[in-house]
Every structure is written in C-alpha cells, then in structure tokens.
Amino acid sequence: MPYQKLTAKELLALGNAAPEVNDSSWCVTWDPSEEGSAAERLVLDTLPPVLDFHTSGSTGPSRCWRRTRETAWLEAGMLAEFVGAGTPHAPGAVVAFAPPLHVYGALATFLVPARLGVPVWYRKEYVGALPETGQRRALVVATPWIFSLLLRHLDWVRSFEHLTVLYSSAMLPSDAGTLLEQAGPGRVTLVELLGSTETGGIAVRRWEGGESPVWTLFPDVTRVDGDAPGDEGAVPLVIRSPRLGHRPGEPQPAEWHTGDLVEPLDDRTFRLVGRIGRLVKVNGRRVNLDETEHRLRARLHCADLALVPVSDPMIGEHVDFYVVPALDTRADELDLSPVLALLGARPRRVHVVPAISRSALGKLRPQQTP
C-alpha cells in the first residue's frame, strides 16, 4: 500500500480537516531529536491557536466544539504516558486508523507520535498488508473494526515484542478479548479511553486479559456529584476539567454532564454502568443496550446489528432491533432467539436492513431507516 510521505511540519500545516490527511494513507517520521521541547515548539508554532472538532451526530445534530492547541498538546502528553512513554514498553512506532478529523484521531494519530518522537503510519483503508515498522514495540490507534483486522494479521501482531492498542469509541467489540487471548500472554495491552468531543479524555483503563478493570479519571479531571441519583445505586457522571471544549462564541463550561451512569468506588475510580440513553427498562428490567449488543454479536450470525431505544404509547420504553444479514444468510433464515433470550422480551419491531448508519468511529447514529 502506498503511503504519502510527509514531514512533521507539512502534516501540521495541512491541519486535521485537510482531505490529504483524512482521505489518504500517509507516513510521518518524527525525528527523535524533535521529541520534547523541540516537538512542542514545532506543534505550537504550526497549529492554529484554536482547533475545531465536530460531534459525530450519534447523539443529535453535529455541532462544533473548540479547544486550544495547548490543551490538545497537554492531553496528547497524558495519552503518551498511558501507552508507556518512558517505560520498557514504550512504542517505537505508531500505526493509526483513527481519522484526524475527530478529536480522538487528532490527538492519537497527529500528536501522540510527536510526544513519543516516533514514526507514524496512518491507514485510511482496512485492506492490504500492515506496514513494516522495523520496531519491536508499536502502538495501534484503533477503531472498532481494527480488532478483526489484527486477528487476520496475527503473524504481524506476534512479530512484535509488545503491542499496545489504544481505543476510544463505542463499546469494545468481542474481537478485542479474542485478540488478547490469541496474541499470547503479555504481548498485547489494551488502553481504553472514555471521553467525547465536548470533553476530551475523561478516564482510562488498561486491560491485558481477564476481568475488565475499573476506570480511573485523567489526572486533571475531577468528579462532581450528579444532581439526581441513577438507577440501582448508580449516579450520573459529572466532571470538571481544564480541557473542556466550548462552542464558538460561548465561554468554556465550568462542568459537564457526560450522559453516563457510574458506580463510584472512590474519588478517582468507578465502574461504568452505561450511557443514560442506552439504558432502558423492558418489562421492568433494566437493559444496557450497548452490553446486550456486545453479547449478541458473539451469538448471532449477521453482518451488523443494533438495538435502538423507542417509546411505545402502550408499553412505554422498548427496543427496535435492526439487523444486516450475513452474505450467506437469507432474511428468513435469521435465528433471532438470542435476541429474545438476552433482552428478556421480544423487540417491538425487527427491521432487516441492508446497512446500519454509523459514524466514522462506529457509533450508532440516532436515526435509522427501517
């Protein structure tokens, strides 16, 4: 696969919204001599003072949120620490799949390699051979589909002494756990981020197999008690952070209601219950739609699926089920018994569709076409 070779300055001058950056594959070598203060000067001298990012449209109309280049550089430094900067597992190269158009991609694909002082390959496509980095340790900046790609290229994964996979998007696909198992003990570390366009990074957890760990807040983020308790002991996650974005022409908010429900363990750690809009009660039983989708993917033979919350005038909260049949399965051959078993009730409606509308990072868009 051809990679357009850019210098670090050319990359930064193009900006995160440039078609050349988002719609092609490219490679940038950050000279190790540029790591630290030299890289910081280059980044802060080249990027515009204010960076604009737009929400994906998964929770409503896409909106612009702004942050300064200084806070972006600060957050990239925290991400570099999370993936092992200064440790024996520090990556010597980055292979990135997250479009720099989004805040996660701009930070992890653009700026984390600068913080690490290592070369980065950005791949627009999911097909073809993975790049030969010449390094024993690497960082993969992943989107939901990349875990299945890595499973198809296990020889590439096992060619590394250690591989760190950075992820920040929808709920982890089941392929993530499979990758940790099949890569071999201690070879892959998954670093998962919780955050949004509006907030930047909020919390992080590291996973190397076994039981899912708890979330820990970023060093500069504090939790504020929500105004109202959630269901079954959970509380809304409300945070304060110096990196909160702001709308054009508006001041930076003092705090942010994330839309998540959490079970606090102490001031810095918590368990994530789920997104408030993705928690519904069906027949009096609380259902986490993200978690249920995750489990369905392992049991239902299909190309894609989604559970969409709906309001029914007769029965209140309910769920519609959207499914894209696999290429080798006719619509009338779909076995939907796992849906009934995991939901504890029949979906209000089942929609067999040719595709499900998702953002570039795999998040479900609110409006689906039956």
pLDDT in tens, 38-80: 899 999 999 999 999 988 765 567 789 999 999 999 999 999 9
Domain of 337, in residue numbers: 283-352
Q: Specify whether 204 is located in the same domain as 311.
A: no
CA count, 13 A, side-chain hemisphere, 241: 29
E-only strand ranges, 100-151: 120-122, 137-142
pLDDT value for 359 = 74
Q: Specify whether 297 is located in the same domain as 162.
A: no
CA–CA gap between residue 276 and residue 292 (Å, rounded): 15
Q: What CATH number is attached to the domain comprising 213?
A: 3.40.50.12780
Which tens digits make up the pLDDT trace of 302-354? 889 998 888 766 667 788 999 999 988 888 888 889 988 888 888 889 999 99
Q: What CATH number is attached to the domain comprising 311?
A: 3.30.300.30
Domain end marker among 174, 201, 217: 217
Instruction: Answer whether residue 31 is part of any domain.
Output: yes
Instruction: Answer whether residue 249 is part of any domain.
Output: no
Instruction: Answer whether residue 366 is part of any domain.
Output: no
Confidence (pTM): 0.82
Domain end marker among 171, 195, 217: 217
Q: How far is CA 92 from the centre of its chain?
A: 22
Instruction: Answer whether residue 158 is part of any domain.
Output: yes
Element housing 203 (H / E) = strand 200-207
Strand partners, 194: 203
Number of domains in the chain: 2
Instruction: Answer whether residue 359 is part of any domain.
Output: no
Which tens digits make up the pLDDT trace of 127-182? 778 999 999 999 999 998 899 999 999 999 999 999 999 999 777 887 888 999 99
CA–CA gap between residue 196 and residue 240 (Å, rounded): 14
Q: Specify whether 291 is located in the same domain as 193.
A: no
